[in-house]
């Protein structure tokens, strides 16, 4: 097989040319060697992470005969001259549409590869995939893993509503103020036993969070416009994306041939469910991987909704 790591715009990743990027966060294109591909999977990583989240899934899809296109989310993956993360390019509070613009550039690249075209995304990338699936024709199906449609934490939801309510009347001053307020996921990214440290962005501005939340807020009102098969995956252990919001999206969509796989707390599935680095427990991760591959490869949905959840595939 051939694994290609494009370095220029001509190679298919607009915006990567000439950029100083973290190696694990570069856009990637994997293509089967010496054979016609079954089709093309376009997969979007989560906010502040990178294409590395799909490394294992991409290899599985490649082995099944698919092209796999792994772009960066808008402004993600930049590095300083000394190799440190550089969050200055992340979309700010009033730049939510940059996520759509970057995704549409990736979609244009994917359309030049073998059909059918299938979308996939994790967390904020799940929201990006849903946005494209709603707005564009010629997409066969879409898989959304723990899609970030509403934050899971009640304090985060309240804070975002306060920003939305006050930013307009202030002439955008609240958003600009947040663009200059530091934020971090914690004291430092965890270091794995083998020395691996999570690539992407651990420290950035509060306004960057507002930017992605403004983007995803536009998706729920358009759920009824989704007319292609959907595989939804949620988990009760999600501490970032509200699985209840994903359930409301499910209830409003028009698509048939769909499935909702919900993992209860005892399944041990975290928010970042597809990456071995973030979901090291092999048995439960393989359940996630099987659900995703069955749908992406064969269009076979898995439907195990939460207890008391809305059914109807």
Six-digit token pair at 281? 């427990």
223 inside domain: yes
Which domain CATH number covers 103?
A: 3.40.50.1820
65 inside domain: yes
Residue 28, domain extent: 2-298
243 inside domain: yes
303 inside domain: no
168 inside domain: yes
Residue 259: count other Cβ atoms within 10 Å of its Cβ.
Answer: 21
97-111 and 124-135 helices cross at what angle (nearest 10)?
70
Residue 62: count other Cβ atoms within 10 Å of its Cβ.
Answer: 20
* Model pTM score: 0.94
310 inside domain: no
Q: How far apart are CA 43 and CA 31, in angstroms?
A: 14
Sequential DSSP letters for 12-33: T-TT-TT--B-GGGS-EEEE-T
pLDDT at 11: 40
Q: How far apart are CA 102 and CA 99, in angstroms?
A: 5
25 inside domain: yes
> Coil, strand, or helix at residue 119?
strand
Q: How far apart are CA 21 and CA 215, in angstroms?
A: 24
Give the count of domains, the chain.
1
Q: What is the pLDDT along the chain (313 residues), one digit of tens a residue?
A: 444 433 322 343 655 778 899 999 999 999 998 889 999 999 999 999 999 999 999 999 999 999 999 999 999 999 999 999 999 999 999 999 999 999 999 999 999 999 999 999 999 999 999 999 999 999 999 999 999 999 998 888 888 888 889 988 989 999 999 999 999 999 888 888 788 889 999 999 999 999 999 999 999 999 999 999 999 999 999 999 999 999 999 999 988 899 999 999 999 999 999 999 999 999 999 999 999 999 999 999 999 999 876 555 6
- Say how many CA atoms lie within 13 Å of 100 toward its Cβ: 18
216 inside domain: yes
């Amino acid at each position: 097989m051939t694994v290609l790591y494009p370095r220029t715009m001509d190679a298919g990743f607009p915006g990567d040319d000439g950029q100083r990027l973290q190696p694990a966060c570069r856009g990637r294109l994997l293509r089967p060697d010496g054979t016609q591909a079954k089709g093309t999977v376009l997969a979007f990583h989560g906010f502040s992470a990178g294409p590395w989240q799909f490394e294992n899934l991409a290899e599985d899809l490649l082995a099944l005969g698919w092209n796999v296109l792994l772009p960066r989310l808008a402004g993600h993956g930049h590095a300083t001259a000394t190799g440190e993360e550089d969050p200055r390019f992340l979309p700010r509070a009033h730049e939510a549409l940059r996520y759509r613009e970057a995704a549409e550039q990736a979609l244009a690249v994917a359309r030049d590869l073998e059909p059918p075209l299938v979308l996939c995304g994790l967390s904020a990338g799940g929201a990006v995939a849903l946005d494209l699936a709603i707005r564009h024709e010629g997409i066969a199906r879409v898989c959304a893993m723990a899609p970030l449609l509403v934050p899971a934490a009640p304090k985060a939801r309240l804070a975002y509503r306060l920003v939305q309510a006050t930013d307009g009347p202030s002439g955008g001053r609240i958003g600009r103020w947040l663009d200059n307020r530091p934020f971090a996921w914690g004291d430092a990214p965890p270091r794995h036993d083998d020395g691996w440290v999570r690539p992407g962005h651990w420290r950035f501005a509060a306004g960057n969070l507002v930017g992605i939340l403004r983007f995803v807020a536009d998706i729920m009102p358009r759920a009824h416009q989704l007319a292609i098969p959907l595989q939804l995956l949620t988990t009760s252990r999600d501490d970032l994306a509200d699985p209840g919001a994903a359930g409301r999206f499910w209830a409003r969509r028009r698509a048939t041939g769909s499935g909702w796989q919900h993992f209860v707390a005892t399944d041990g599935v975290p928010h970042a469910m597809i990456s071995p680095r973030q979901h090291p427990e092999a048995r439960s991760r393989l359940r996630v991987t099987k659900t995703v591959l069955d749908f992406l490869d064969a269009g076979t949905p898995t439907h195990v909704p939460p207890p008391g959840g809305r059914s109807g595939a």
